[in-house]
Homo-oligomer: A and B are copies of this chain.
Amino acid sequence: MRSSQLGVGVVGYGYWGPNLVRNFAGSTAARVVAVADRDPLRLAALTRNHPGVAATARYQDLLDDPAIDAIAVATPAHSHYDLALMALRAGKHVLVEKPLAPTADLARRLIDEADRRGLVLMVDHTFLYTPAVRKISELARKGEIGDVYYYDSTRVSLGLFQSDVSVIWDLAVHDLSIVDHLIDEPPVAVSATGCSHVEGAPENMAHITLFFDSPCVAQVNVNWLSPVKVRKTLIGGSKKMIVYDDMEPTEKIKVYDKGVTVDASPEIAQQLRIGYRAGDMWAPNLSTREALASEVEHFVDCVRNGATPLCDGVSGLRVVETLEAATRSMAGQGRPVMLGNVTQARNARRATA
């Protein structure tokens, strides 16, 4: 039945837009009504692949279409805020590419607009829907990892340099959304360093450290100028440690029963009584479902049931605030930047939830 399907419009049919269209089209609960893009070649490609979807060069057509209940924004980063705001003001639910907005202030305006209108605002933090991250999250929730000691990620490859944002807004954003999801407490400070090797261009390699109130630390190493592609994350916990290697075709997650034990009553101050535990390794079988398929399903569910998405606007805001703080720290060669406001926003949100 037509009316039972969510009508979706997509703006932007470049790199990511076709994936969104394909996955919404593959969902029985949604229907792609129309796609807007200024490039006629892209619209022609859309028509070839999806003959039943309307193609338009004018975003306003999507906003005006009563058959469209929700809009997915898949345009370049600098336009996310404007397009998402227009969609909300037109009464449409919104799924927006990461990052949610170029500044925390603008991200907050989007959140407020969505809240005021009772609309769903969701950020496309796709990694949270990968079978690998879902499994890690499940292990963490079940207490199998124990206290999280650290998250240490390397995300490097050759290209694609972006001209308007540094590498942390392009690559580190993935890790920051995973950290936001996995670690229960908010970061309290960030130190970041980076370097640009192309004159006049933003930083193409960077390292971020997030500090927490507890002795937990998150490290993210990103680089557009690496000879090899690495997507590897170590997660240390008091009970288990995980290696998550996204370049592996299978066995992306390996859970190690390894760690240290500390003697409770050390008499000799100089000499730590540390024991090393080396047990089995275990690689859980993972679903092969495409992350974006799970994500669009979740978005449609949230719209239907008025539920708060896993990656709601507030989680998108937290990530943007951290990116802003990291950018300031990077300009100061690692000078730490406090993250108080984020904590307050999170707590305020939780209090009202």
Chain A residues packing against B (C-beta within 8 Å):
48-49, 51, 149-150, 152, 154, 156, 158-159, 161-164, 189, 191-199, 201, 205, 207, 209, 211, 215-217, 219, 221, 223, 225-229, 234, 236, 241-243, 247, 249, 251, 254, 256-260, 262, 270-272, 274, 276, 278-285, 329, 332-336
Contact = CB atoms under 8 A, between A and B. Distances in A.
A199 B259 CA distance: 15
Contacts of A262: 198-199
Given A228-B243, A272-B161, A335-B334, A150 B282 contact: no
A279 B270 contact: no
6 contacts: A149-B225, A150-B223, A195-B217, A197-B260, A198-B272, A228-B234
B161 A274 contact: yes
Contact of A336 (B48, B223, B242, B334): B334
B191 A234 contact: no
A209 B281 CA distance: 32
Contact of A249 (B247, B274, B336): B247
A159 B281 CA distance: 18
A19 to B, nearest CB: 16
A193 B221 contact: no
Contacts of A279: 285
Main secondary structure of the interface of A (DSSP, over half): strand
A183 B305 CA distance: 58
A142 B159 CA distance: 27
A189 B195 CA distance: 13
Contact of A256 (B223, B227, B234, B272): B227
Given A191-B333, A193-B219, A227-B256, 10 more contacts: A152-B223, A158-B258, A163-B272, A194-B217, A197-B215, A199-B262, A227-B236, A227-B243, A278-B285, A329-B334
Contacts of A201: 272
Contact of A209 (B149, B227, B334): B334
Contact of A271 (B163, B225, B228, B260): B163
A193 B209 contact: yes
Given A163-B271, A271-B163, A281 B280 contact: no
Given A48-B51, A205-B150, A158 B278 contact: yes
B285 A283 contact: no
A236 B226 contact: yes
B215 A195 contact: yes
Contact of A281 (B274, B282, B333): B282
A191 B331 CA distance: 12
Contact of A217 (B191, B205, B251, B254): B205
Contact of A197 (B149, B209, B227, B243): B149
Nearest to A284: B280
Contacts of A199: 262
A278 B287 CA distance: 10
Contacts of A189: 333
A294 to B, nearest CB: 19
B219 A225 contact: no
A211 B216 CA distance: 26
Contacts of A216: 195
Contacts of A227: 234, 236, 241-243, 254, 256, 258
A217 B193 contact: yes
